[in-house]
């Protein structure tokens, strides 16, 4: 699996691919995300992007190097995993010894899973390696909660925070909803608003997500008391929420998604 196979976080992955392609790779990274984010897959994809000779900066997922990385048996990639409930000092000591050896290929890469379970002694030990890493070494710490790591480790790593795919989709829906709501209240032309909703009009799930986000936006405006919310009179909000509910009913009746969204916009403009 390469970055191209992992859905979401595309902007972050583009930056990592660019770093691998140019050789401008930091000596240490923290990849943070909750338990539902497959941080180990991201670390492997990054390792492939760095080490693959067939498709530098991306990984081909077919060569010997990529296959070894995929199956956890590449000679220059070292994994550290929990010993019981934590990563202990001796686990970090063993990693330090392995990193002293020159790589058989281009780089040594260490992937520390559940890095936020490191004991304080283990953290202080890896800190020494982060301060003076062996040449060409890349250390990747996978963590659910960077608050469990000492500040000096954070300061010596590039921190990458991964979002859930669902969170990304929710954020996109919220952004579209805000743009459409502002355009409607500002009296923007139908053609302009229709362009904002091109992808929503083609997909029923996205249409539902958009309508949910738009209703949430209006609900937020109804309870706020600031300059932005004053642009949205209560009666206007109630009318738009009614339009949203009607659009939902039409979608449930299996009406054509594009037609439902178009009808909603035209009603909201009146």
Nearest CA among 101, 117, 109 for reference residue 137? 109
Q: Give the range among 8-22, 164-178, 193-207 with minimum mean pLDDT.
A: 164-178
Counting Cβ atoms within 10 Å, is residue 262 exposed (0-12), middle (13-18) or buried (19+)?
Answer: middle
Q: In 10 A of CB 37, how many CB atoms?
A: 22
The whole-number pLDDT of residue 165 equals 57
- 241-270 pLDDT, tens per residue? 989 999 989 998 889 999 999 999 999 998
* pLDDT-based confidence at residue 206 (cuts at 50, 70, 90): confident
- 35-50 pLDDT, tens per residue? 767 889 999 999 999 9
The percent of residues above 90 in pLDDT, for the chain, comes to 59
User: pTM of the prediction?
Assistant: 0.63
- 70-108 pLDDT, tens per residue? 999 999 999 999 989 999 999 999 999 999 999 999 899
DSSP assigned state of 52: -
CA distance 112 to 215: 43
Region class of 61: left (phi > 0), else alpha (psi between -120 and 50), else beta: left
CA distance 48 to 186: 49
3 state DSSP class of 79: strand
Nearest CA among 255, 237, 235, 239 for reference residue 247? 255
The whole-number pLDDT of residue 162 equals 85
- Strands (E) in 39-80, as ranges, are 77-80
Contact 72, 48 (CB under 8 A): no
3 state DSSP class of 31: strand
Average pLDDT over residues 1-21: 87
Nearest CA among 71, 152, 84, 137 for reference residue 114? 84
Q: In sequence order, which residues have a C-beta less than 8 Å from that of residue 256 and are 6 or more positions away?
A: none
Backbone φ and ψ for 248, nearest 5 degrees, come out as: -65, -45
3 state DSSP class of 183: helix
Q: In sequence order, which residues have a C-beta less than 8 Å from that of residue 123 and are 6 or more positions away?
A: 149, 150, 153
Angle formed by the axes of helices 257-269 and 204-223, nearest 10°: 30
């Amino acid at each position: 699996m390469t970055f191209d196979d992992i859905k979401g976080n595309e902007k972050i992955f583009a930056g990592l691919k660019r770093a691998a392609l140019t050789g401008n790779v930091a000596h240490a990274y923290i990849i943070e995300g909750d338990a539902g984010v497959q941080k180990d897959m991201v670390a492997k994809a990054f390792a492939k992007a760095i080490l693959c000779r067939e498709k530098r900066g991306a990984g081909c997922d077919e060569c010997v190097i990529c296959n070894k990385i995929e199956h956890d048996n590449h000679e220059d990639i070292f994994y550290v995993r929990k010993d019981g409930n934590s990563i202990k000092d001796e686990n970090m000591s063993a990693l330090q010894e392995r990193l002293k050896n020159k790589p058989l290929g281009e780089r040594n890469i260490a992937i520390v899973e559940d890095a936020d379970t490191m004991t304080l002694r283990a953290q202080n030990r890896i800190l020494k390696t982060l301060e003076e890493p062996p040449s060409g070494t890349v250390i990747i710490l996978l963590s659910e909660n960077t608050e469990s790591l000492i500040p000096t480790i954070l300061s010596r790593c590039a921190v990458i925070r991964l979002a859930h795919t669902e969170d990304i989709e929710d954020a996109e829906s919220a952004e579209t909803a805000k743009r459409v709501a502002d355009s409607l209240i500002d009296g923007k032309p139908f053609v302009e608003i229709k362009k904002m909703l091109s992808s929503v009009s083609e997909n029923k799930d996205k249409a539902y997500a958009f309508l949910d986000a738009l209703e949430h936006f209006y609900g937020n405006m109804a309870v706020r008391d600031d300059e932005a919310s004053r642009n949205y009179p209560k009666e206007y909000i109630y009318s738009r929420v009614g339009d949203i509910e009607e659009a939902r009913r039409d979608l449930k009746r299996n009406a054509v998604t594009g037609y439902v969204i178009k009808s909603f916009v035209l009603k909201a403009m009146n």
